[in-house]
Amino acid sequence: METTRAGYQQQMERQLAKWSARLEGLKARAAVAGVGTKAELLTELGKLEKLEVAGRQHLAAVATAAEARWGEVRAGLIDKWNHVNGALDAIWARVREP
């Protein structure tokens, strides 16, 4: 994980772009899936979208954190980001194609 705020923001922005691409792929799969699979995918998609929003809020918090306090808030922010990232990865592992 990056130690500078700018580096951390860039890393988060790249990850958010990756998540957005995954969500679009999942939406496409849900659109052509059978009824049971579609319902499951839509449920998981809803969870993923909420986590993506949390990630974007987290990025906004990093951007607005005072430079003088960056060292103080960094650890807490990294913990929150890792939680969102882990939850997204866990859901993605359940719904990706075999």
Q: Are 22 and 92 in contact (CB under 8 A)?
A: yes
Q: Tokens standing for 72?
A: 């103080």
Tell me what pLDDT residue 88 has: 79
Taking 70 as the pLDDT cut, the residues of the chain under it are: 1-3, 97-98
pTM tops 0.85: no
Q: Which residues, other chains included, contact 8 with Cβ-Cβ below 8 Å and sequence gap of 6+?
A: 1, 2, 62, 74, 77, 78
Residue written as token pair 């986590």: 51
What confidence score (pLDDT) does residue 20 get?
Answer: 87
What is the pLDDT at residue 66? 76
Q: What is the pLDDT of residue 2?
A: 63
pLDDT computed for residue 22 by the predictor: 84
